[in-house]
Copies of this chain bind each other. A is one copy, B any other.
């Protein structure tokens, strides 16, 4: 097992075409990682997941820590083996969920005390315990425990979050090291997370303080947390440019196709988001022509596939009318087939983006994609 590596082998402006390698295979970048919160990408078997083209997924430390617990997953050989997934995997630090999901949380320099959203039991998460949990889970990439603030936020709060994130990042390195070997034999590497809200000076300081840690990759945190779309696009590009050229840049929790395109343009390599899977469960399908809300009565007798050009099972085998029936009737197969399609759509989008960068035609691709996607009903509310 040769461990983690990353190379950029083509550029178009700031946009980068690269390849990330872990002991679980190689991943073409820019990459979109589907979210497998509770050790499963909701609704899909690992074979169905692979059929979408996904080669790297994200799992949530907070959820797995609470249930079935990291100790249990460790005793069962780690998360890859537990969920029978042999691709690459990244775990988040748990911090974001602690703030957004837990019933009560109290922040201190030591860490965060919180109550489980499942049963109200009290827990404590710190840089050290997040590292311990992620080491046990065994993802190929683990994330530093950071302090993310919701936007809008006062400047002083953003400033404090940047400082604390730096101190916590150092504690993460102390607890985990920049890289370590999991019991199952593969290497795990630590990524740092930059904070700074929508303040350029704070983004610059965060990058300046984290870069010397020489971690395997860096994430742009603290975006997609309440700011405007313009701020998201502006700050993701601004932040990406501050991060080391030779390392992967990961924009956490983003997003809509237009957000991904804007961030790729700015030099981001990695993405994750619950959007395609969550929208699928609600019967909303992504296509190159914009979004289809299957519950709309106009699809009741529509015998066309969701998207003619798509090779997923939902599109090759089924009609919009049938998928609509499944969603309306509350049948499990509805979310399953819609998830298959939406994840296939995202993987196709990323493949098109990669090809466009390689052809030095990213700007044209972005413009033509958006023209088609936003023409009818693709405009994001």
Query: Which residues of A line the B interface, CB within 8 A?
Result: 38-40, 42-47, 67-68, 72, 75-76, 82-84, 300-301, 303, 313, 317-319, 321-322, 325-326, 328-329, 331-333, 335-337
Contacts and interface: CB of A to CB of B under 8 A. Distances in A.
The A interface, classified by DSSP as helix, strand, loop or mixed, is loop
A228 to B, nearest CB: 34
Nearest to A337: B45
Given A76-B319, A301-B76, A336 B332 contact: yes
A333 B43 contact: yes
Contacts of A332: 42-43, 332, 335-336
A321 B75 CA distance: 11
B39 A322 contact: yes
Q: What 7 A-B pairs are tightest by C-beta distance, nearest first?
A: A43-B332, A38-B329, A40-B333, A68-B325, A84-B317, A40-B331, A42-B332
Given A39-B322, A45-B337, 9 more contacts: A38-B329, A39-B325, A39-B326, A40-B326, A44-B333, A45-B333, A72-B300, A82-B325, A332-B336
A42 B332 CA distance: 6
A335 B45 CA distance: 11
Nearest to A328: B67
A47 B51 CA distance: 14
A102 to B, nearest CB: 17
- Quick one: copies of this chain in the complex? 2
A336 B335 CA distance: 12
Contacts of A325: 38-39, 67-68, 82
A43 B333 CA distance: 5
Contacts of A319: 76, 82
Nearest to A326: B40
A120 B333 CA distance: 26
A343 to B, nearest CB: 14
Given A72-B301, A301-B72, A322 B82 contact: yes
A328 B69 CA distance: 13
6 contacts: A44-B333, A47-B313, A76-B321, A82-B322, A84-B322, A332-B332
A44 B321 CA distance: 18
A331 B46 contact: no
A16 B326 CA distance: 38
B333 A301 contact: no
A45 B336 contact: yes
A299 to B, nearest CB: 11
A76 B303 CA distance: 7
A312 to B, nearest CB: 11
Contacts of A337: 45
A336 to B, nearest CB: 7
A46 to B, nearest CB: 7
Contact of A336 (B76, B84, B329, B336): B336
Contacts of A326: 38-40
